Structures are given as C-alpha cells and as structure tokens.
Amino acid sequence: MNNKYSPLVNSHFIVGRGSINFIRQLDKKRAVVIYDGRILSDTIKEQIIKLVAENNGECRFIADIRNEPFFSDILKAADDMKSFDPDLIIAIGGGSVLDTAKAMHLFYEYPEMSMEDALVPYNLPKLGVKAIMVAIPTTTGTGSETTSAAVFMDQLTKAKHLMLSNELIPAYAILDANFTDSLPKTIAANTGMDALTHALEASVCKTASPMVISIAVGAALDILENLESSVSSRHQDVKANAREICHVAASLAGVVITNSCAGLAHGFDQPGAYFGLPHGMVCGLLLPYTTAFASPHASYAKLAKRLGIEGDNKKELCQKLVDYLMEFSKKIGIPSNFAEAGIDESMFMAKLDDFADLAISAVATKLSPKLPSFQEAKKLLIDAYYGNQPLVISEL
C-alpha cells in the first residue's frame, strides 16, 4: 500500500517451467526449506537437495506447513532455523507456507523481536542480511510470493493477524507452472478468483499509479481469458498453457496489491472467515456486487472494452462488466450468492451488523473508489446473500 509516487516494489521474478533450477545459480551453502508435505514429492525434495549440493551446499527441510500457522509454531520453527544458520530460505507451497516462511525469516534475523512489534504495519527492520528468501508458489492466487503481507492465527483467540512490510517481500519468486499441473479443479478456481479480485481491486484503488493500473488490467484480462481452461479444459496441453498464464498473472496481481491495495471484496470478506468458506471463493462471489458498487470507474470501463464489451458510456460498460463477471464466476463454479454457498439465512443475518461494521472499517474498503455507509454495506451484504442483481446506480 504505497503512495502514488513510491517506486514500484516487487520480487525478482524467475519464470517458466523448470525454473526451479534457478536455485543453483544462487550459489548458497546452507538452505532451509519450508514446505507443504502433502504436495512436495520425494522427487522434488531430491531435486532441491541436488541443486543446492551443486554448489557444495547443504539442505534441511525444517517445517511442514499444512494449515494457517499459529504464532507459536512460527517461533519454534524460527528457533530450529537458527540452529542451522541458513543463508537461503526456500518456501515452496501455497500462501500459508509462504507467509510462514516470511515470518520465520524475520524471527531468524531478529530473534529478540516481539510479536507485538512485528505486527506494527510497515515498521520492520531490514531483512536479507543473514539469508535471502526464495518463494516458489504451488498454487495460483494469493500472490504471497511477491506481497508485503503475511497472515497468521492467534492460537488463543483464533483471530487473524496481519504482518505488513516491504521487507517481507521475498527476494525471488520462482514461477514454475510445473507445480500447478496437479492442482485440483476447485483450488484452481478459488485461488484464480482471488487473483482476479486482487487485479480488479488494485486497478481502482485510490493509490493506484498508472503503472499499477496497466499491470492490473493486463493481469485481470489474462485471468479472465484463461481461468476457465485452467480449471476445466479436457485438453491437457490447453489446460497446462492456461495454468502457466494464470500463474504469472496471479503474481502480477500480487505486485499490484503490494503497490496499491486490495479493495471492497477483501474488505467485505468476513463471512468467509466466519463460516469457513475459502477466501478465493468468497472474493469471486462478492466481486460482481463490489464491482457494481465501486462503478462506474475508468479502469473497469477500460477492461470491459478490452474484453470486447460495447457500451455508449462508462456506466453502461461497467454494468456489462458486472454482468460478465457474474456469468464468469458461474462458469468457474463459484456460487453466485451466500445462500447458494450453503450459508444459513438466520445465522448470516444475525451477524449482518458485525460484518458491515468490520467491512466499512477495513483499510481495503477505505482505499476503494467509493466508501460505503453502514446502511450501504448492509445492503451490499444482503444483496450478496440473496443474489439480488448487482446494479451500477450512479455516475461518479
């Protein structure tokens, strides 16, 4: 969330199938690997060991992360890391693995730092003195490999906390689509919608620079043109190509939220955490409603035109984009509303005021082009519960 005139920050990208082999070029001697044991095969483990060994380096697999980590797990793993004294941290897995590695890196380099201090936004000391971090995402969507954020659970309260600093951005993001080929359909769909939401929201963020908008619109277009094939094409070569394009676009969507901010769907995503729905699914579900609310907007109109949508003015283009997004989500297999997602009506309505309160106070909401009132936030959530058609109602 930099201001308009800050330099663009991002990881160094290494892109292409087989690009995991880049590890050998780093010429590091002591590598720790943070991973998800469910997806990291012995073959890949051996490949990483071999790549590090090519420079007479040693490799240790220290943390198998399968869910959102607790603070206590992170501190323990950072202690294990300290005893090995690595100069390279390799994180290979989904968003939780990458987020964990970012925090372990911090506590490895600054063991005395308190968790309280670590959670003060944009206040971390310089990272990368003892070790550099390489992120290898195996899902396509969170963008964690290039974002300044890491999300954790508090073990006692089960509340989510956010660590935020550009120091957390991994030095390298290796975008090797070979790791995405075995992603199950639903994960490809949900995480793809998360990435699409990042791109669309960054493109209209109040702090978005022209460069952010350009990257964001391009990334959104790539995802809209390829996600359906990435999720469900029966032709392996078509699916593999689409997954590769989406993998890159999702990282670029991470770059743009790091350099501006996510928006309304992220501000309104509390029902997801509360009812245990996947984050990407909730983003995709909310996207037509939040896009309609934030419309009309020049970036949405630009994207609509590039999709071949015709319209006489911004409002018409944006409404057609909203309708397009609704149909697109359905094709990807995302529920169109919370009722369809199986959320109980009375339970949802009992929490409505809380959800609306949290939504209007979220940073992502405040940086979106149009700030909803409490009543407007409630209406948006009610529409998203029942599936009322989202309408672009005003000209900004």
Q: Which amino acid is residue 279, in one-letter code? A: H
Q: Which amino acid is residue 49, in one-letter code? A: I
User: Of 188-196, 221-229, 324-332, 358-366, which part binds Fe ion (CB under 5 A)?
Assistant: 188-196
CB 40 within 8 A of CB 90: no
268 to 297, contacts with Fe ion by CB under 5 A?
none
Nearer to Fe ion, 99 or 194 (CB): 194
User: Of 175-183, 191-199, 233-241, 320-328, which part binds Fe ion (CB under 5 A)?
Assistant: 191-199
Chain centroid, CA 360 distance in Å: 21
Give the C-alpha separation, 75 to 66, whole Å: 16
User: Of 96-104, 186-194, 318-326, 360-368, which part binds Fe ion (CB under 5 A)?
Assistant: 186-194
DSSP 8-class letter at 117: H
The two structure tokens encoding residue 145: 């490999």
78 to 137, contacts with Fe ion by CB under 5 A?
none
Q: How far is the CB of 75 from Fe ion (least distance, A)?
A: 26
Q: How far is the CB of 201 from Fe ion (least distance, A)?
A: 9
End-to-end CA distance of the chain: 24
Q: How far is the CB of 253 from Fe ion (least distance, A)?
A: 9
Q: Measured between alpha carbons, how far is residue 352 from residues 54, 93, 158, 349, 385 in Å?
A: 57, 34, 20, 5, 10
Whether a cis peptide bond, with omega within 30° of 0, leads into 111 is no
Which residue has the closest beta carbon to Fe ion? 194
Site string for Fe ion, 193-232 (x = CB under 5 A): -x--------------------------------------
Nearer to Fe ion, 194 or 383 (CB): 194
Q: Name the helix (H) or strand (E) containing 64.
A: strand 58-64
Nearer to Fe ion, 176 or 194 (CB): 194
Nearer to Fe ion, 244 or 269 (CB): 269
Nearer to Fe ion, 279 or 302 (CB): 279
The two structure tokens encoding residue 48: 């990483």
Give the C-alpha separation, 172 to 22, whole Å: 10
User: Of 166-174, 192-200, 238-246, 382-390, which part binds Fe ion (CB under 5 A)?
Assistant: 192-200
The two structure tokens encoding residue 37: 């044991």
Site string for Fe ion, 328-367 (x = CB under 5 A): ----------------------------------------
Report which of 99, 256, 245 is spatially closest to residue 180, judged by C-alpha positions: 245
244 lines the binding site for Fe ion (CB under 5 A): no
* Contacting positions for Fe ion (CB under 5 A): 194
